[in-house]
């Protein structure tokens, strides 16, 4: 009441006399005062722009055409065989898709993360297996070296990765260290000029292909003030004592490469340490932020594929004398898909844009990954429901999309971990 009596007379004055009496008008707060016809666009300088650049639009069209022509016709076959698609990966390398955010001086394209997210989305729209191959290689295989490596390490390891001639992997997860990534038990002891590594890793993407170059692993390299010092170390494929296990039999992502790894007195040069000893935890937390943008983009691409198949099926499937899309129960599902995809895409590109601006983006990356992955799961489930019995058989792609989706809520930090990250940011 006191607040109303204090502010009320001022408010009442403007209501009675009007803003014009003060020499101002509400419209004066918004410049320029241009009346636009419906659909008419008048360019003006703004602080927020959701349009892609001309280069990004051309890139998006190029990747979509490539995906439709080169991947889509064989996506089901690749999934059924469960074989790593070397020929397609080589063609993706020819398009420079594996080094998008890496500077040209290290063999990359020098693109921004928004462009990278577009590429992952378009590839994932036809094959989540190839989408994760690209995302894990870029976000996890190269970023530790690019962000924290020495100039010598960057020039040695990055060019063949950025050109797509080789693939990189990141070994973080262990049998007893999943969401609790700090519970790493793999050890690396410095003996002379070599690190001697012992331990194991689980669920490591791109770790066992014929073109895998290395895996960067987390390992305990000592103790300081009673705390484990975790460091990141590059381990080249083929190093003695480094064993790649049999491929997993997975629910989805059948044509992506995933293995368990073991290290038994595995020796690598001292200079393979990335950054300072004991800084590995901070390093991989930063790497995971970038990885979450990749998984969010992968989620958007998979969700887009589910949406397109659902709309197509809803228009063609006739029951009770009319297309099922004419039923509100189905049309509303499709409308909800559209809403969630648009929001997920916007969140993903915002996180990527913030990173490109050199601004903090950990929170936004967690938001994008959480929302996009859970939205994709809902959308994939509804896509199967719309297809009915046909959605449960492999003849229709939504069956594969559904199988490929669940892992999105798990990899790069589970949904629960994202909520921990966000709630801690709130001081809770």
Res 139: pLDDT = 96
Which residues on adjacent β-strands are paired with residue 233?
A: 217, 273
Res 152: pLDDT = 98
Pairing status of strand 187-191 against strand 194-205? antiparallel
Least-confidence region, from 31-35, 139-143, 214-218: 31-35
Mean pLDDT for the stretch of residues 35-41: 50
Among candidate residues 160, 171, 279, 175, the one with its CA nearest the CA of residue 231: 279
Mean pLDDT for the stretch of residues 129-152: 98
Mean pLDDT for the stretch of residues 244-264: 97
The residues, ordered by sequence, that sit 6+ positions from 91 with a Cβ below 8 Å of its Cβ are 66, 70
DSSP for residue 264: E
Map residue 273 onto helix, strand or coil. Answer: strand
pLDDT digit string, tens, across residues 53-68: 999 999 999 999 999 9
Measured CA to CA, the distance from residue 256 to residue 206 in angstroms comes to 7
Res 213: pLDDT = 98
Measured CA to CA, the distance from residue 224 to residue 390 in angstroms comes to 58
Measured CA to CA, the distance from residue 100 to residue 303 in angstroms comes to 23
Q: Which two tokens stand for residue 149?
A: 């490596």
Residue 1 pLDDT grade (very low, low, confident, very high; cuts 50, 70, 90): very low
Res 230: pLDDT = 96
Among candidate residues 174, 421, 136, 171, the one with its CA nearest the CA of residue 280: 171
DSSP for residue 51: P
Are 375 and 341 contacting, i.e. CB atoms less than 8 angstroms apart?
yes
Query: What residue has token string 């590059």?
Result: 234
pLDDT digit string, tens, across residues 336-391: 999 999 999 999 999 999 999 999 999 999 999 999 999 999 999 999 999 999 99
Among candidate residues 289, 274, 150, the one with its CA nearest the CA of residue 215: 274
Measured CA to CA, the distance from residue 392 to residue 395 in angstroms comes to 9
Res 5: pLDDT = 39
Measured CA to CA, the distance from residue 73 to residue 51 in angstroms comes to 31
pLDDT digit string, tens, across residues 157-183: 999 999 999 999 999 999 988 888 788
Res 370: pLDDT = 98
Among candidate residues 235, 125, 143, 148, the one with its CA nearest the CA of residue 188: 235
Active site residues: 412
Among candidate residues 305, 301, 287, the one with its CA nearest the CA of residue 345: 301
Query: What residue has token string 């595995």?
Result: 266
Are 65 and 72 contacting, i.e. CB atoms less than 8 angstroms apart?
no
Are 114 and 148 contacting, i.e. CB atoms less than 8 angstroms apart?
no
Measured CA to CA, the distance from residue 104 to residue 155 in angstroms comes to 11
Question: How much is the mean pLDDT over the chain?
Answer: 91
Res 75: pLDDT = 97
- Show the 3-state SS of 91-122: HHHHCCCCCCCCCHHHCCCCCCHHHHHHHHHH
**pTM metric for this prediction:** 0.89
Q: What angle do CA 230, 348, 339 make, to 5 degrees?
A: 140
Which residue segments constitute the domains of the chain, with CATH numbers given?
54-168 (1.10.540.10), 169-281 (2.40.110.10), 284-425 (1.20.140.10)
């Amino acid at each position: 009441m006191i607040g109303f009596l204090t502010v009320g007379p001022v408010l009442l004055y403007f209501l009675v006399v009007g803003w014009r009496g003060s020499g101002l008008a509400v419209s004066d707060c918004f410049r320029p005062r241009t009346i636009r016809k419906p659909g008419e666009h008048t360019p003006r300088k703004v602080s927020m722009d959701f349009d892609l650049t001309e280069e990004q639009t051309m890139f998006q069209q190029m990747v979509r055409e490539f995906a439709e022509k080169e991947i889509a016709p064989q996506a089901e076959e690749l999934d059924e065989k469960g074989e790593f698609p070397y020929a397609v990966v080589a063609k993706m390398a020819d398009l420079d898709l594996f080094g998008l955010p890496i500077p040209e001086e290290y063999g990359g394209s020098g693109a921004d993360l928004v462009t990278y997210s577009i590429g992952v989305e378009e590839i994932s729209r036809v094959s989540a297996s190839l989408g994760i191959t690209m995302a894990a290689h870029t976000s996890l295989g190269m970023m530790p070296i690019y962000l924290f490596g020495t100039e010598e390490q960057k020039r040695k390891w990055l060019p063949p990765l950025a050109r797509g001639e080789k693939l990189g992997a990141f070994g973080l997860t262990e049998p007893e260290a999943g969401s609790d990534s700090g519970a790493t038990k793999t050890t690396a002891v410095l003996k002379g000029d070599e690190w001697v590594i012992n331990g194991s890793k689980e669920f490591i993407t791109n770790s066992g292909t014929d073109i895998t170059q290395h895996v960067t692993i987390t390992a305990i390299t000592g103790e300081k003030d009673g705390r484990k010092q975790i460091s990141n170390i590059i381990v080249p494929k083929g190093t003695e004592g480094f064993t790649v296990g049999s491929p997993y039999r997975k629910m989805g992502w059948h044509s992506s490469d995933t293995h368990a790894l073991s290290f038994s007195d595995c020796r690598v040069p001292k200079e393979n340490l990335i950054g300072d000893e004991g800084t590995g935890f901070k390093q991989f937390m930063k790497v995971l932020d970038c990885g979450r943008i990749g998984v969010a983009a992968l989620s958007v691409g998979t969700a887009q594929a589910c949406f397109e198949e659902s709309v197509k099926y809803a228009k063609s499937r006739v029951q009770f004398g009319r297309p099922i899309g004419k039923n509100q129960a189905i049309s509303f599902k499709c409308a909800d898909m559209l809403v969630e995809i648009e929001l997920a895409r916007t969140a993903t590109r915002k996180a990527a844009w913030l990173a490109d601006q050199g601004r903090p983006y950990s929170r936004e990356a967690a938001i994008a990954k959480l929302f996009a992955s859970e939205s994709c799961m809902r959308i994939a489930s509804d896509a199967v429901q719309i297809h009915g019995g046909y959605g449960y058989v492999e003849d229709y792609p939504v069956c594969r999309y559904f199988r490929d989706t669940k892992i999105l809520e798990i990899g790069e930090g589970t949904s629960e971990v994202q909520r921990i990250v966000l709630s801690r940011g709130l001081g809770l």
